[in-house]
């Protein structure tokens, strides 16, 4: 047995199980007690990491965001101007990513009427917009789009496409195999960039 | 005093107060008891209309959808091919409509892990897609778009734009005055229809 518990790893492990539980039983029925049972820990241990449900959901949300960010970073390391690749890395086209979106939908639902959560979501969205703008500026430098394009407007359009598709896919996954998602994304990117 | 209570009207009245409460305190803290207090009825009366929170949220969701539908119908009665008008009637550009979207976000959050809610949401989205397709078919008959356009794909794109914008606006309303929403919608509609 290890002498020291890796608390960060355990917190992440518990958050991962929380994400699965949200997809299975819903955020309404997710409790620290239920989570402890699913994770095989005592309620006391889980309570040590998450004092209440809000803290649990907040951490789970941030974990999902970190995972998503890591995938986007990987795309950008290889090709710093690959906007479609970035957005594609966030599409809910497999189990893991659908779970991320489930966590986000659950969080959005909780953020209504919860100023702290709403602020977190706003900050996160603005961060995404900024990242998309950075990629667009790189594209402009390479001459792939016009240097005087309205990067802010374009970034908003791309975030719209991503969130809007994810809502449709999230509640109708059978209708949205990966190929359809990618085709739709490509089409939207082409249409939006044609004006840039 | 009226001899007979208009139960439908009272149910709608209570659902309207529920929608306001969701925006104020969040779906997590919305309870039949809390709602009764806000509505000025006894818990027993509210429980008569809504046996539990799920029934309450389902009814509130459907009421919001009916109100939205009524606005879209009004647009279509005057101009049956006005796609941008239909979508515009759903933008979260005033208090009432932002509240509708708040109810929808709350419902989406609850629908994760709740098969009955998820099915309701899926049915509702497919209904929206069908309505958009109908408008597109009318546009094709009038020669406004090509008769062999992929109506299903186009409808998906339009629903994507609407949902995606609403998410951005919903959590960042200060950044999205009505004029910006309408400008962005017009731009997206033009871009999408250019290929149709």
**Pick from B103, B109, B91: which is nearest to B168 by CA?**
B91
Please state whether the predicted TM-score (pTM) of the whole model is above 0.90.
Answer: yes
Residue B29's pLDDT is what? Answer: 82
The tokens for B97 are 């409509």
Residues A166, A91 contacting (CB under 8 angstroms): yes
Distance CA B23, CA B20 (A): 5
Spell out which residues of chain A touch residue B102, defining contact as CB-CB under 8 Å: 112-113
Distance CA B35, CA A94 (A): 39
> From the CA of B187, how many Å to the nearest CA of chain A?
9
Residue A86 binned pLDDT confidence (cut-offs 50, 70, 90): very high
Mutation for B interface: A29, A113, A114, A181, most B CBs within 10 A: A113
Residue A23's pLDDT is what? Answer: 85
Mutation for A interface: B20, B167, B184, B195, most A CBs within 10 A: B167
> From the CA of A3, how many Å to the nearest CA of chain B?
38
Mean pLDDT value of segment A15-40 = 88
Spell out which residues of chain B touch residue A125, defining contact as CB-CB under 8 Å: 168, 171-172
Residue A3 binned pLDDT confidence (cut-offs 50, 70, 90): low
Mean pLDDT value of segment A12-34 = 88
Residues B157, A187 contacting (CB under 8 angstroms): yes
- % pLDDT > 90, chain A: 76
Q: Which residue of B has its CA nearest to A20?
A: B113
Q: Which of B26, B107, B156 sits opposite A110 (nearest CB)?
A: B26
Write down the ipTM of this complex: 0.92
Tell me A4's DSSP state.
S
∠ CA B28-B63-A162 to the nearest 5 degrees? 65
Residue A130 binned pLDDT confidence (cut-offs 50, 70, 90): very high
- Do residue A113 and residue B22 have CB atoms under 8 angstroms apart? yes
Residue A52's pLDDT is what? Answer: 87
Distance CA A64, CA B37 (A): 37
Distance CA A91, CA A163 (A): 9
Distance CA B195, CA A55 (A): 46
> From the CA of A44, how many Å to the nearest CA of chain B?
23
Q: Which of A110, A153, A156 sits opposite B28 (nearest CB)?
A: A110
Residues B158, B84 contacting (CB under 8 angstroms): no
Give whole-number Cα distances, A57 to A31, A110, B75, B118, in Å: 10, 9, 40, 20
Mean pLDDT of chain A, nearest integer:
92
**Pick from A88, A22, A82: which is nearest to A57 by CA?**
A22
Spell out which residues of chain A touch residue B27, defining contact as CB-CB under 8 Å: 109-110, 112-113
Residue A2 binned pLDDT confidence (cut-offs 50, 70, 90): low
Residue A72's pLDDT is what? Answer: 97
Residue B1's pLDDT is what? Answer: 55
Give whole-number Cα distances, A105 to A19, A23, A49, A168, B160, in Å: 11, 10, 23, 12, 15
Per-residue pLDDT of chain B (196 residues; tens, 9 = 90+): 556 888 888 899 999 999 999 888 888 888 888 899 999 999 999 998 888 888 999 999 999 999 999 999 999 999 999 999 999 999 999 999 999 999 999 999 999 889 999 999 999 999 999 999 999 999 999 999 999 999 999 999 999 999 999 999 999 999 999 999 999 999 999 999 987 7
Element of type H or E holding A92: none
> From the CA of B3, how many Å to the nearest CA of chain A?
38
Distance CA A151, CA A130 (A): 9
Tell me B175's DSSP state.
G
Residue B176's pLDDT is what? Answer: 96
Q: Which of B27, B184, B191 sits opposite A109 (nearest CB)?
A: B27
Give whole-number Cα distances, A24 to A27, A132, B144, B190, in Å: 9, 32, 45, 40
């Amino acid at each position: 047995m290890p002498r020291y518990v890796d608390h960060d790893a355990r917190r992440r492990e518990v958050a991962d199980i929380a994400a699965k539980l949200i997809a299975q039983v819903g955020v309404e029925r997710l409790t620290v007690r239920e989570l402890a049972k699913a994770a095989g820990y005592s309620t006391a241990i889980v309570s040590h990491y998450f004092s209440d449900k809000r803290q649990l959901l907040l951490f789970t949300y941030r974990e999902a965001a970190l995972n998503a960010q890591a995938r986007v970073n990987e795309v950008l390391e290889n090709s710093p101007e690959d906007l479609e690749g970035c957005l594609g890395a966030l599409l809910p086209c497999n189990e893991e990513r659908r779970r991320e979106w489930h966590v986000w939908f659950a969080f959005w639902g909780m953020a209504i009427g919860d100023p702290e959560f709403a602020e977190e979501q706003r900050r996160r969205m603005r961060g995404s917009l900024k990242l998309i703008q950075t990629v667009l500026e790189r594209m402009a430098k390479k001459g792939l789009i016009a240097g005087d394009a309205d990067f802010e407007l374009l970034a908003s359009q791309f975030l719209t496409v991503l969130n809007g598709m994810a809502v449709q896919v999230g509640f109708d996954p059978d209708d949205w195999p990966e190929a359809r998602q990618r085709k739709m994304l490509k089409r939207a990117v082409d249409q939006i960039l044609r004006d840039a």
